[in-house]
Amino acid sequence: MKVSSVSDLLQSSLFLQEVAVKGWVRTFRSNRFIALNDGSTINNIQCVVDFENTDEAVLKRISTGAAVSIKGTLVESQGRGQKVEIQVLEIEILGDSNPDEYPIQPKRHTLEFLRENAHLRVRTNTFSAVMRVRSALSFAVHKYFQENGFNYVNTPIITGSDAEGAGEMFRVSTFEPNEAPLTEDGKVDFSQDFFGKETNLTVSGQLEAETYAMALGKVYTFGPTFRAENSNTTRHLAEFWMIEPEVAFMDLDGNMDLSEDFIKSVLSYVLENCKDDLAFLDQRLTQEEKSKPQAERSEMSLLEKLHFVVDNNFKRVSYTEAIDILRNSKPNKKKKFQFPINEWGADLQSEHERFLVEKHFKCPVILFDYPASIKAFYMRLNEDGKTVRAMDVLFPGIGEIVGGSQREERLDVLKEKIETMGIDEKELWWYLDLRKYGTAVHSGFGLGFERLVQFATGMNNIRDVIPFPRTPQNAEF
Ligand code: ATP
Ligand code: MN
């Protein structure tokens, strides 16, 4: 007999038909009502056991967490809260779950406790909803790019270029820590290592993606990225997934348009396709907000925030304008910022970004034309000689969600920049070749997938939107 998914059954009206379903018991009450979940939806299907005609030994084994196989008749439900239920004809316990030991009891657990049980937390409503939304978002990412003429490229995870400069890197080596061969001057001799040079886990696929954009035109990456930054924040992981489109013949304005259109498109996709999960997460967030002091509560619910982003234009503001706004802002004058804004050229901290987005503009903001001195070497220098064609997309609650730029396509300017930043030109020979052979205006950005999932699900901590988070001092599982 065909096993149906709970999701299909809940939408079915094949009443009085015999159906089969497999899943895990969420709750079992009155020796009669099983709430069964199989992961296909946040909703459980109620399975009504005929306890008088069921073996007592079997009844005892129906407990939270147990895996069961059920055959029964689909009927219209008498109870409230569900349209259909299954009258059980046959139940088989596939895998027991000792109720005295099973950590995921049918009650509210703290997110901290669930992080320690990351192998089981996806069995809760919250995490199953988050992970289904995450999956739908990944699909939406590919769908958007594939439907818009982009080619998916897989850039290397192990990289030999140490010029990316996006953050601290994890070394990849086959040397035994204490037995690495040394050169004459006592340094580790990486020429004898596996790759014959120093290699690391990638912090970004951008430089390699650029090489492909300069032949395939429009490309995107979507893969794991690593940063050994020791920042224990709610927005940083040591291992995260990044989406990096790169487009030939596109300037910074096109780049801003692309980022905005892309984000709106993927959020619309989940609004359309994850209704039950988002409704649940919306309720969850509203509950969580209630425990905060009034002043810190969000004015909008999760669904309102998602619709707001999809329906409104992102505000585009130059760095210079932003500095003016920040300098004259109340928190700056009242010395409320941890990093006061005094001069043009200051790097913006998360507190400033959040002020602009949450207090001043009250909508997503794209900041552009940053000082060259605080941005990477590959960003295109403006005519003013001091700013570069960089852009950051800033989101409420998250801060930076996208970082991107128009790339420097002029060989001489790029070489000069590389030199003043003290980068070894030889390391970048292949990157410079792009400017020697058929160079062209091109742009791209990097979007941290987990920050997008955070926004879409309303989860406050980035550790709660990836199955097994990697953070300083934590690589369990
Ligand atoms: P931040 O200032 O927030 O650390 P960044 O300037 O280091 O970000 P980029 O190097 O521009 O970020 O990376 C592109 C995008 O990747 C960011 O906009 C963000 O969405 C995401 N990102 C960067 N670092 C992390 C991290 N450690 N964990 C998760 N996502 C990250
Ligand atoms: Mn960073």
| pLDDT values of the chain reduced to their tens digit, one per residue, 477 residues | 899 999 999 999 889 999 999 999 999 999 999 999 999 999 999 999 998 889 999 999 999 999 999 999 999 988 777 889 999 999 999 999 999 999 999 889 999 999 999 999 999 999 999 999 999 999 999 999 999 999 999 999 999 876 666 678 999 999 999 999 999 999 999 999 999 999 999 999 999 999 999 999 999 999 999 999 888 899 999 999 999 999 999 999 999 999 999 999 999 999 999 999 999 999 999 999 998 888 788 889 999 999 999 999 999 999 999 999 999 999 999 999 999 999 999 999 989 999 999 999 999 999 999 999 999 999 999 999 999 999 999 999 899 999 999 999 999 999 999 999 989 899 899 999 999 999 999 999 999 999 999 999 999 999 999 999 999 999 999
Threshold 0.85, pTM exceeds: yes
Among 221, 236, 391, 461, say which to mutate for ligand 1: greatest number of ligand atoms within 8 Å of CB.
236
Amino acid letter for position 369: D
Among 207, 242, 351, 462, say which to mutate for ligand 1: greatest number of ligand atoms within 8 Å of CB.
242
* DSSP secondary structure, 349-393, as one string: PHHHHHIIIIIII-S-EEEEEEEGGGS-TTBPBPTTSSEEEEEEE
Which atom of ligand 1 is found nearest the CA of 167?
Answer: 7
Nearest CA to ligand 1 atom 10: 166
- What gap in Å lies between CA 111 and CA 118, rounded to an integer? 10
Which atom of ligand 1 is found nearest the CA of 227?
Answer: 27
- What gap in Å lies between CA 375 and CA 392, rounded to an integer? 11
- Residue 328's alpha-carbon distances to 332, 333, 373, in angstroms, are 7, 7, 23
What backbone torsions phi and psi does residue 87 show, to the nearest 5 degrees? -90, 115
CB of 447 shorter than 6 A to ligand 1? yes
Nearest CA to ligand 1 atom 1: 400
Q: Is 467 helix (H, G, I), strand (E, B) or coil?
A: coil
* DSSP secondary structure, 308-340, as one string: HHHHSPPEEEEHHHHHHHHHTSHHHHTT-SSS-
Shortest-distance ligand to the CA of residue 448 = 1
Q: Which two tokens stand for residue 471?
A: 């953070």
Helix (H) or strand (E) holding 247: strand 239-248
For the chain, helix (H) and strand (E) counts, in that order, are 14, 17
- What gap in Å lies between CA 338 and CA 330, rounded to an integer? 13
Single out the residue of 352, 349, 348 nearest to residue 330, CA to CA: 352
CATH class of 123-168+203-464: alpha beta
Per CATH, 3-102 and 123-168+203-464 having the same topology is answered no
Shortest-distance ligand to the CA of residue 238 = 1
Strand partners, 318: 368
Largest CA distance in the chain: 85
What backbone torsions phi and psi does residue 221 show, to the nearest 5 degrees? -110, 160
What backbone torsions phi and psi does residue 386 show, to the nearest 5 degrees? -125, -15
Domain boundaries, the chain: 3-102, 123-168+203-464
Q: Could you tell me the strand order of the sheet in which 399-406 lies? A: 151-152, 218-226, 239-248, 442-448, 399-406, 387-395, 365-371, 315-318
Cα–Cα–Cα angle for 139, 142, 147, nearest 5°?
120
Which atom of ligand 1 is found nearest the CA of 231?
Answer: 27
- Residue 451's alpha-carbon distances to 258, 393, 399, 465, in angstroms, are 18, 12, 9, 9
CB of 466 shorter than 6 A to ligand 1? no
- What gap in Å lies between CA 242 and CA 245, rounded to an integer? 10
Which atom of ligand 1 is found nearest the CA of 203?
Answer: 10
Given CATH 2.40.50.140, say whether it is the number of domain 3-102.
yes
451 alpha carbon to ligand 1 midpoint, in Å? 9
Shortest-distance ligand to the CA of residue 166 = 1
Judge whether 369 and 383 are in contact, CB under 8 Å.
no
CB of 144 shorter than 6 A to ligand 1? no
